[in-house]
Amino acid sequence: MSEPAAATTRDDSPLAIVCGGGSLPFAVADAVAKRGRRAVLFAIRGWADPQRVLGYPHHWAALGRFGWFCRVARQEGCRDVVFIGALGRPAIWKIKPDLKTLQLLPRIFAIYRGGDDHLLSGVARIFEEHGFRLIGAHEIAPEILMPEGPLGRERPSERDDVDIAKGFALLEAISPFDIGQAAVVAGGRVLAVEAAEGTDQMLARIHELRKNGHMAAERGVLIKAAKHGQDRRVDLPSIGPQTIVGAARAGLAGIAVVAGSTIMAEPAQIAELADRERLFVLGLRHASAA
């Protein structure tokens, strides 16, 4: 999917940030403020951090209130919209749709039945049809993208390099099936493949397997990569301090991601935690990067 060419041009209208969980939304809001642009958070109840939201211009939002969003965002003068932060696939019975959303429901339902890609790009299209322009968070704040090279002090061993290569090859092979963007490989053996459960749960599984002793001696590597054809505006893979904690608990040697195609939450804290846990965190220009 192509990105709007004008996205990074200067725009003085306030930016609407539809704000899920974690610290990323605030990193983006700070980066926007630093550039002198006003950012308004639309904090999704149940996901956005209620304490940190207080420090920014914000409205509390709920899924399914699309009519409300259109109205309030227009009142705020917002035209550009960024989706950022953890959200997960929402429980459909938790959504209380407003009238506008009700009208869109058959379409939303059809989108919902597809894979993650369809969900996100379908929702993006609906926003655009209502006069908003969807922009990738990394276009507004490129500093949130993982650079090439290591974060922190540790480096992968030659064995880790083999695991990394195998992991990227595996993610490449499953990319056409529109599934998760992560795997764990240890000593040449694929221990886990992420699908609907998400990276944190996958790492917790490795921790369990290891605790029960059903595991090779090698530490292993978490590999993440964007799927082909993924809508980069709404769904780049991301890592944050939580990923380091999970990888450390899983006994891994490190994390390898695609430089320029992976969002980092709190890079300084990632580096510090990685050094403390003696994990490498590596950005690679990989051939299969989307």
Interaction residues for a second copy, span 31-60 (CB under 8 A): none
Cβ-based neighbour number of residue 121 at 10 Å: 19
Contact flag: residue 214 with a second copy (CB under 8 A): yes
> How far apart, in Å, are the Cα atoms of 55 and each of 47, 119, 222, 269?
16, 31, 34, 20
Q: Which of 30, 139, 178, 272 binds a second copy (CB under 8 A)?
A: 178
Q: Which of 193, 245, 248, 289 binds a second copy (CB under 8 A)?
A: 193
**Alpha-helical regions (H) of 177-224:** 199-211
Contact flag: residue 89 with a second copy (CB under 8 A): yes
Cβ-based neighbour number of residue 28 at 10 Å: 26
For a second copy, give the closer residue by CB, 115 or 149: 115
Q: Which of 50, 55, 142, 188 binds a second copy (CB under 8 A)?
A: 188
Selected range binding a second copy among 20-28, 120-128, 189-197, 263-271, rule: CB under 8 A: 189-197
In this structure, the dihedral spanned by the alpha carbons of residues 245, 246, 247 and 249, taken in order and rounded to 10 degrees, is 80
For a second copy, give the closer residue by CB, 144 or 182: 182
For a second copy, give the closer residue by CB, 134 or 184: 184
Contact flag: residue 162 with a second copy (CB under 8 A): no
Contact flag: residue 112 with a second copy (CB under 8 A): yes
CB of 10 to a second copy, least distance (A): 39
Q: Which of 50, 55, 114, 142 binds a second copy (CB under 8 A)?
A: 114
CA–CA dist 247, 270 (Å, integer): 12
Nearest CA to 162 out of 181, 186, 183 is that of: 186
Contact flag: residue 115 with a second copy (CB under 8 A): yes
Contact flag: residue 113 with a second copy (CB under 8 A): yes
CA–CA dist 288, 258 (Å, integer): 9
CA–CA dist 52, 210 (Å, integer): 35
For a second copy, give the closer residue by CB, 74 or 228: 228
Contact flag: residue 229 with a second copy (CB under 8 A): no
Count of residues that bind a second copy according to CB under 8 A: 45
CA–CA dist 254, 243 (Å, integer): 10
Q: Who contacts 66 (Cβ-Cβ below 8 Å, separation ≥6)? A: 97, 98, 100, 101, 104, 126, 130
For a second copy, give the closer residue by CB, 116 or 266: 116
Which amino acid is it at 156? P
Q: Which of 123, 191, 247, 253 binds a second copy (CB under 8 A)?
A: 191
Return left, alpha or beta for 213; rule: phi > 0 is left, psi -120 to 50 is alpha, else beta.
left
Selected range binding a second copy among 108-116, 129-137, 143-151, 243-251, rule: CB under 8 A: 108-116
Backbone CA torsion sign across 235, 83, 13, 55 = negative
Which residues make up the interface to a second copy (CB under 8 A)?
A: 88-94, 112-116, 166, 169-170, 173-174, 176-180, 183-184, 187-197, 201, 205, 209, 212-218
